[in-house]
Structure 1
Amino acid sequence: MDHHEPYPIGDAARRSGLSVSAVRFYADAGIVEPTCLSEAGHRLYDIDAIARLELVRTLRELDTDLGEIRRLLEGGTTLHDLLTTHLEVVERRERTLRARRAVLRTLIRQGATAERVALMHRLVSMTDEERERVVDEFWNDVGADLDVPDGFVDRLREMRPVLPADPTAAQLEAWIELADLVRDPDFRDAVRIYLRDTYSTDPGRSIASASFQEFIYGSGTALIKELLAVHRAGESPRSPRAQEVVVRFMEAAVGLSDTPLTDELRDRMSEGYRLIPELEREMAEEDAASEDPVHDDTHGRYLSLVAIINGTGPEEDTMPYEWISEAMRAPTDHE
């Protein structure tokens, strides 16, 4: 067969990946008409027509409607513009389906009622302004007349969810759970009781002070990151670099109470850091046995959901408490 001659409809269908009936349909619809007719009246297609049929097949597999395809083939738009517009449509549809999936998963997990279906749909459809208002109402209620240091509740409300423009299913599910929780009066009461019991008296009150909070979330965090970088570099905790950073950290910490950094205090801080894993286990056991509101079920749950929504989960590195404890230990005469 001369490849420059038009092909019969069967060959055109095979080369374009369409069925013969589909090729006929697109011809009858005026999308890709045959190049010419044979003497017997059969439809014939040249290479250009077959290429258009192949493009039509590809675009239809991408769910592009016939009107858009006709505009493209008639020169009413470019392929780039058509694909760009279609990508926007597909991405919007994907976001919608992702939101629906998050709602359905939550409903199945929690148990579905007509009221819950309506609520879940409303939560996932909120605008940025509505989400901000829900979180503000939560903290306004929780912080009302709470006997904690000035500015502490404002510091807590800074940790708030910011749902990205293109959230994952996990982020949507976390937002649905968080939005449901912060609107729940029982959860608000539990958070308020936990914060009151933890931070209205010492030592919690001192931890909630402005200076201590600034150290925890500001200079202290920066110094711990420096110390972890030294650890990851493989240096000894007694190396000059490790000692320089750890001393700055301890001086900043004890400076909160205007206490001088003595060798005795260094050793106490060293022992305290060494015992942190054991203390954390004991606290977890106490929380599990407690009938009062505890961190993981109240403010801790709020923070963990915010971290998922914001994509700022806990760092993978395990805190090297033993290494830090050794770095904090006061130097001996032979060192």
Structure 2
Amino acid sequence: MDGTALYSIGELSRRTGLSVRTIRFYSDANVVAPTRRTPAGYRLYDVDALLRLELVRTLRELGVGLSTIQRVLNRELSVAEVASAHADALDVQIQTLQLRRSVLRAAARFGSSPEETKLMHKLTQLSGEERRRLIDDFVDGTFGPENADPNAAAMVRAATPDLPDDPSTDQVAAWVELAEMIGDEDFRARLRRTAGHQANRLTLGIEEEAGDDLMEFTRHRLADARNRGIDPLGDEAAPVVDDLVRRFAEVFTRAPDPEFRDWLAQQFEVAHDPRVDEYWRLVWVVNDWQVVPGLVPVYSWLVRALRRDR
């Protein structure tokens, strides 16, 4: 390439791939000014102008703004500084697009209504700090000074749901369900009641009164029912529950009637509320933690089955 050569705007267009109109625009904006003009007023450009135009084209294709490019050409900013800042900006845009994609997929998969889709979009738009603050406020409000149980609060806080930058459809749906759940005062009361038992590893009164043999048999039957995928609200669960109710009624010398079933459910609900166990399941989904079947509470299955008629 001849360092003394001068190129017309048409030649410059052929060499750079930019249109004559675009080059003329950059010239008028003084981004790449012509080296000189012919007596007839036509613009001529030297090799330096050619190289500047190629840099402008590259940076524009990468999405860098014209004002920033001008600062690079004026040596007010280095290409490395611009590349770093623009890459950071792209990271934010990519994260936003990933969240939008997950929301749209969740809306399509679950047949969400316009209101539900709007809520999903709103909740996933929260920054990581805003989401953490939402959970912190929930924990503080649930286990405040008047409900002080540091072990329970620490247990809930240690399992803070943290939505990743590129969540799956299930993670978005779980996060939205969690966000709605933690604002429910009834749920907070249930969590306060059960978390203390779980965090402090307290034994239920009914476990001690019923005896080791019956409790071991109960846990085995419930685990088997869960593993077989039996719905606690379905007809297949009835024989399992009826047998357990009869066995507990014999131990407590009570009639296995609806009143006793309700009492039995209350005893297990102290530490194993179905809504609370659902909260923990959602936390596992959002955090992408592996669910260990042996650690899934089985008493919630029994509570739901006992409450079936209600």
TM-score relative to the length of structure 1: 0.54
Unaligned runs of 5+ in 2: 210-215, 235-264, 295-310
> Quick check: 1:174–1:308 contact (8 Å CA) kept in 2?
yes
Matched, 1:121 2:122: yes
Question: Which of 285, 290, 302 is the equivalent residue of 2:233?
Answer: 290
Call closer, same or farther: CA 1:99–1:157 in 2, change over 3 Å.
same
Counterpart Cα distance in 2 of 1:58 and 1:279: 65
Q: 2:138 aligns with which of 134, 139, 159?
A: 134
Q: Give the corresponding residue for 2:50.
A: 50
Q: Deviations over 1:296-322 (max 9, x none)?
A: 9634432343334445x2189x99xxx
- Which of 287, 290, 305 is the matching residue for 1:314? 290
Residue 178 to residue 287, structure 1, CA distance change in 2 (3 Å): farther
Task: Quote the offset at 1:68 in angstroms.
Answer: 1.0
**Larger CA deviation: 42-51 vs 279-288:** 279-288
Return the letter of the residue paired with 2:290: P
User: How many residues were matched structurally?
Assistant: 241
Report the identity percentage: 30
User: Contact 2:162 / 2:286 at 8 angstroms: preserved in 1?
Assistant: yes
Distance 1:296 1:168, change over 3 A: farther
1:112 corresponds to 2:114: yes
Contact 2:142-2:188 within 8 A present in 1 as well: yes
1: CA distance between counterparts of 2:222 and 2:62? 57
Q: Deviations over 1:204-261 (max 9, x none)?
A: 99xxxxxxxxxxxxxxxxxxxxxxxxxxxxxxxxxxxxxxxxxxxxxxxxxxxxxxxx
Give the counterpart letter for 1:307 in structure 2: W
Partner SS, residue 75 of structure 2: coil
The answer (yes or no) to whether the contact 2:142–2:192 under 8 Å persists in 1 is: no
After the TM superposition, which of the residue ranges 295-304 and 2-11 deviates more from structure 2? 295-304
Correspondence 1:42-81 to 2 at 5 A: 42-81=42-81
How far has the Cα of 1:156 moved from its partner? 3.7
Partner of 1:303: 280
Quote the Cα distance in structure 2 between the aligned partners of 1:116 and 1:191: 28
Q: Secondary structure at the match of 1:288?
A: coil
Higher deviation after alignment, 182-191 or 31-40: 182-191
Question: In structure 2, what residue type is equivalent to 1:160?
Answer: A
Could you say if the C-alpha distance between residues 134 and 189 of structure 1 is closer, same or farther in structure 2, counting changes exceeding 3 Å? closer
SS in 1 for 2:114: coil
Q: Distance in 2 between matches of 1:277 and 1:9?
A: 85
Identify if the C-alpha distance between structure 1 residues 163 and 118 changes in structure 2 by more than 3 Å, giving closer, same or farther.
same
Change (3 A) 1:46 1:2: same
Contact 2:98–2:167 (8 Å) recurs in 1? yes
Deviation at 1:59, TM superposition (A): 1.7
Q: In the TM superposition, what whole-angstrom CA distance separates every residue of 1:178-215 from its partner, at most 9, and x where no partner exists?
A: 2122223465567678879996345499xxxxxxxxxx
> How many Å apart are 1:295 and its aligned residue?
7.4
Which letter maps to 2:122? Answer: H
Q: How does 1:198-277 map to 2 (within 5 A)?
A: 200-201=204-205, 203=207
Cα distance in 2, alignment partners of residues 281 and 124 from structure 1: 41
Are the equivalent residues in 1 in contact too, given 2:34–2:49 (CA < 8 A)? Answer: yes
Q: Check 1:25–1:151 CA distance in 2 against 1; reply closer, same or farther (3 A cut).
A: closer
Gaps of 5+ in 1: 206-271, 320-335
- 1:28 aligned partner: 28
Q: 1:27 Cα shift?
A: 0.8
Match of 1:167 in 2: 165
Distance change >3 Å, CA 151–CA 282, structure 1 → 2: farther
Q: Secondary structure at the match of 2:56?
A: helix
- Cα distance change, pair 190–315 in 1 and its aligned pair in 2 (3 A): closer
Mapped contact 2:142–2:189 kept (Cα < 8 A): no
Judge conservation of contact 1:178–1:302 (CA < 8 Å) in 2: yes
